[in-house]
Structure 1
């Protein structure tokens, strides 16, 4: 899919003040570590994550996404009444129904003419949302859209750590390792139709692929107050990287790019090992990549867009540079987007 009329009007993000460190997690898991012969410090060595952000207990995804959305509006020339579509894309949601987007629509006091729905697709939901909204803008159905997410990993730790201590075996630890990497954060992109004298970054297009044979490799369940997840980390990385390699070739063909075209590669950040293997497999200069894993962990669907927002604030991107956003989610699905700054 290619676009010529869609610009990134603005963005906003919101991060927790609190964090839980790998050292703190390991101290809580000390009886398990003793049982399975695991040394203190292994969690950070295996994942590259020193700490991960968490919201206060009881925080709703809609509340933090609303803050990110307000910041995106403040950074734009658009009024709330001019937003035609709002899409919430998080793994975490307030409830099964109504949509979390409806809660945010109310919080932001958007127009009754603004379309409202959720998109759920594991860690690539945000990139899916950008693609759907961009198609609607490109086709002339709407003129603007807000894509947002609010991930809250806190309830997962509240469930996982006691469960690991109860089961007290190496197999349970392996299945829960990915759960111990997750962090929290909220991001919002405001997309709009390109104006005649546009100075904003453009969404150029994107592609995705699916390998549904891996649908059972990572499964999450629960509710806003009690989340649970089990992952075959090795299997998911192996199949995920294979799909990423195929997706990268498809993406380059669709965008008419080669490996040298993008100056910056922003990924959904899973672990240090995955980050390094991904760049090596795709034969991309690792200097083009950026990582906030060490101090924020895997922020799920917020990962790639949060990378863009953080680097944009540092003025990392120069005018006319090409940027690729790469995401992979359990299922297994990939989504890749191209942007010109």
Structure 2
């Protein structure tokens, strides 16, 4: 008997209604930063971000995840009680302990096992890999993967100089979103519409971990030390970009070769998006045709782990990806790491 295949049963995204253009953000930062003049237009030209989403003040990452999860479950006609596992894969969560997946499960009214997977912006792709393996083993029929990114909490609204504004540039691309993907057991993967996850592959160059880090502060046994907290996102943009430029892309190409596929065979190639110029440069280096990508960063900003499911959801909703089509999810994340999920929708 063939092992079951993890079918991608549905995808959904929750985007907060409140949005802020980059021009409006520049005005807001300048208004809160006495004596600082913000050059207009530079941020949008450098990042490609025109607009980002801002969650309501009372919303937490789990709220965004629950909203997206309810949508994907409703669309699939699946009740929370029918889930076998929930994996929360966001960069940010409500808590360090317990797993934010517990908060999501409580919000949905689910009573299944849960856990978190956290690996920067690669977390969602890693969670797909894990869910695929668990379903193939035969112990799970329905796995919900979800995330909620409240990145606007990291936007520096008050700065002391124009230089500080430029140094914090990546923070101003941050946006809020929730996303969810439902995976179900199905027939063994094949050439027909029943096919699911066909291949996954990941790599890491962990010597570069400190180039983009959000530290936990106060980790010391000193009784007079600082209390536990979350520090500021520390980002060395030039060295970080250089590390990715040196990344061996065999991790992407080898699964394609092994499957006898080319980038042109895919209806959509979803690539993690932190800045539009880098997306284009990366695709050129990887040989990914620009017309296969799904550009979301311009209107939705950098939504971290929600980036890949957001792109897939937009491609499905717009009719670009239909049942039976091939899709690729290309993950890129701090650490640094890269990976690919090849699937038939």
1:299 maps to which of 303, 324, 327: 303
Deviation at 1:257, TM superposition (A): 2.4
2:179 maps to which of 187, 190, 205: 187
Q: Report the 3-state secondary structure (helix = DSSP H, G, I; strand = E; otherwise coil) of the residue aligned with 1:215.
A: helix
The CA deviation string for residues 50-101 of structure 1, in whole angstroms up to 9 with x for no partner, is 1111101231111111111111111114332221110001011001111110
Give me the whole-angstrom Cα distance separating, in 2, the residues matched to 1:14 and 1:125.
18
Structure 1: which 5+ runs fail to align? none
TM-score in terms of structure 2 length = 0.88
Give me the whole-angstrom Cα distance separating, in 1, the residues matched to 2:174 and 2:263.
30
The CA deviation string for residues 166-186 of structure 1, in whole angstroms up to 9 with x for no partner, is 3x262x444421111111111
Query: Residue 207 in 1 paired to residue 201 in 2?
Result: yes
1:5-154 equivalences in 2 (<5 Å): 5-30=5-30, 39-111=39-111, 114-154=112-152
1:237-276 equivalences in 2 (<5 Å): 237-243=241-247, 245-276=249-280
Q: Which moved more, 1:252-261 or 1:140-149?
A: 252-261
Q: Is the 8 A contact 1:265 1:326 kept in 2?
A: yes
Deviation at 1:206, TM superposition (A): 0.7
Alignment length, in residue pairs? 329
Q: Is the 8 A contact 2:4 2:188 kept in 1?
A: no
Give RMSD over aligned pairs: 2.6
Query: Structure 1 residues 15, 226: CA separation in 2 closer, same or farther (over 3 Å shift)?
Result: farther
The CA deviation string for residues 30-60 of structure 1, in whole angstroms up to 9 with x for no partner, is 498986x873110000001111111012311
Give me the whole-angstrom Cα distance separating, in 2, the residues matched to 1:213 and 1:64.
33
Q: Which moved more, 1:308-317 or 1:243-252?
A: 243-252
1:310-325 equivalences in 2 (<5 Å): 310-325=314-329
- Number of the residue aligned with 1:161: 157
1:332 maps to which of 321, 333, 336: 336
Q: Which moved more, 1:73-82 or 1:268-277?
A: 73-82
Q: Report the 3-state secondary structure (helix = DSSP H, G, I; strand = E; otherwise coil) of the residue aligned with 1:16.
A: coil
TM-score in terms of structure 1 length = 0.89
Q: Which moved more, 1:205-214 or 1:318-327?
A: 318-327
- Number of the residue aligned with 1:216: 210
The CA deviation string for residues 174-206 of structure 1, in whole angstroms up to 9 with x for no partner, is 442111111111111110100589855612121
Query: Structure 1 residues 319, 144: CA separation in 2 closer, same or farther (over 3 Å shift)?
Result: closer
Q: Is the 8 A contact 2:280 2:290 kept in 1?
A: yes
Deviation at 1:4, TM superposition (A): 6.0
Give me the whole-angstrom Cα distance separating, in 2, the residues matched to 1:256 and 1:54.
42
Deviation at 1:26, TM superposition (A): 1.9
Query: Structure 1 residues 203, 261: CA separation in 2 closer, same or farther (over 3 Å shift)?
Result: same
The CA deviation string for residues 290-323 of structure 1, in whole angstroms up to 9 with x for no partner, is 1011111011000011100111011111443311
Query: Structure 1 residues 242, 259: CA separation in 2 closer, same or farther (over 3 Å shift)?
Result: farther
